[in-house]
Structure 1
């Protein structure tokens, strides 16, 4: 699939920027003072208030019912509200990370569980770095980066220019830094995708891999112009092809990485065995096969943690 390129410039600002800024100001003292254990219950309660918008909840719930097959709309709506609550909860993580602390990692110190590190270490022995293909789940940003940095890995992360809170110029320059600055403490570099010069990001990632480092890319369709619609839950999901293309070009191992919050383990960063990339296959066939394999592995994780998968709005049933 080809994604249409956006050629228009960004709006200078929007009224939603003001709402977001005021919300962050109000939430800052709460995020600093409230115990982390209270964050999720607070937001789950908030998303069940009658004032909250129901359109996105109902749309995601309908997708969940059709995809999972073993839940009804009542259960789907409850999961969709929990997803919305988790997305709001990220703000508290961002804001807590700004709280003054003697800890060099910042003011938020989450409970982390890194699984499959031996697979990453083995992949790096080849001298071609490693590409981590990260799940499009709610908590895939800051916990993932903290965990890899704590283990001493140098990570270059491919990022959208609108990662954070806003797509306006003011939002990119100011609001999005609330999220990006705490993340950057744990990165070797943030590689921002430029739609006007897409090869620039590819060259930077290739240099990082050549140096034997880690490159992380989220398995989403936010940026990039080429997608593969892969099968999952009997339907289809568009996924950008940057990660398998990069791994195919460089010969670097491509490791699926799933980031979920678990009640017992905290934030689980699970690195799985590399997806095989057949060098004898045509590039497009190899890429399609990689996307299909990634989505096949995703199903078990999503079924276990459906309230944390941000791709429900992109999933569609087969025609």
Structure 2
């Protein structure tokens, strides 16, 4: 906690990028495995560059812990950030059915998104996994993960935690929030309780949790892809894109697959621009 509180934020990324290159702190086998997947997906990137991407991804995950701890300092964490595409959200909310944000599975997608939306006055209910944070053990869920969740909760109207023993509870809470004209956010990689479908990206396939399009189709709320990235010049960018169309005439399964495919199509440009921040590399598979 002490380094996270006292070191200037501009030092964090260089510090952890250096640490990620130390064999004692980073499993090199895991780096090589991730780099191999990146090379296969992107195709036009050399071996040295893919290893750098894999190491920088690991460094970003380490850096995320500094952000969590800085958020406990008096005054909280005040990053440089921007909310882009807010007009799409404002237009969506005019329909009176709320809006579903389908958030990218990137390293920095959590706290900056909540801070940016809260600062603009939006009431956001976020679907969360019980294991959101650092650990899946009972002690981790009860104690350790609160280090991340408590600061995030300052910026939420409600954290909706999925319970596998009562799966409809989370759905009812999200539907209630949307009926009140509020915003519900769901991360595309959140697999808790939601069906997965495979969609095309980078010439291969990637499993995507499709709770967001199913919820949007059920309630009539617009489905807005939301991409989050840390840019060296712009700070943390929270970018809300135009809604993904959901054709009510399509069968539900076909509509869901089409939404996932469109989401991944839009994702490609973001992943190419910020490849070291995408947490889904390990799940990408080449087309059979």
Measured in 2, the distance between the counterparts of 1:56 and 1:246 equals 35
Q: Normalising by the residue count of structure 2, what TM-score does the alignment of the two structures yield?
A: 0.98
Report whether the alignment pairs 1:60 with 2:29: no
Structure 1 segment 84-233 matched on structure 2, within 5 A: 84-101=58-75, 107-233=76-202
Gapped runs of 5+ residues in structure 1? 1-27, 102-106
Q: Distance in 2 between the 1:261 and 1:162 partners?
A: 24
Distance 1:221 1:95 in 2: 23
TM-score norm. by structure 1 comes to: 0.89
Aligned residue pairs, count: 287
8 Å contact kept, 2:129–2:190:
no
> Which position in structure 1 is the counterpart of 2:17?
44
Within-5 A mapping of 1:67-78: 67-78=41-52
In structure 1, how many angstroms separate the alpha carbons of the residues matched to 2:68 and 2:28?
25
Question: What aligned pairs does 1:224-303 form with structure 2 within 5 A after superposition?
Answer: 224-303=193-272
Residue equivalent to 1:29: 2
Which 4+ residue blocks in structure 1 deviate beyond 3 angstroms?
A: none
Instruction: Give the whole-Å Cα distance in 1 for the aligned partners of 2:10 and 2:107.
Output: 17
CA contact (8 A) 1:221 1:238 kept: no
CA distance in 1, matches of 2:29, 2:191: 21
Q: Could you tell me how far apart the structure 2 residues matched to 1:67 and 1:221 are?
A: 22
Q: Is the 8 A contact 2:41 2:202 kept in 1?
A: yes
Task: Provide the rounded CA distance (Å) in 2 between the counterparts of 1:201 and 1:162.
Answer: 15
Q: Distance in 1 between matches of 2:100 and 2:239?
A: 14
Listed one character per residue, the Cα deviations across residues 50-75 of structure 1 (whole Å, up to 9, x for unaligned) are 21211221111111100111112211
Whole-Å Cα distance in 2 between the matches of residues 236 and 268 of structure 1?
26
Shift of 1:225: 4.3
CA distance in 2: counterparts of 1:32 and 1:290, whole angstroms: 42
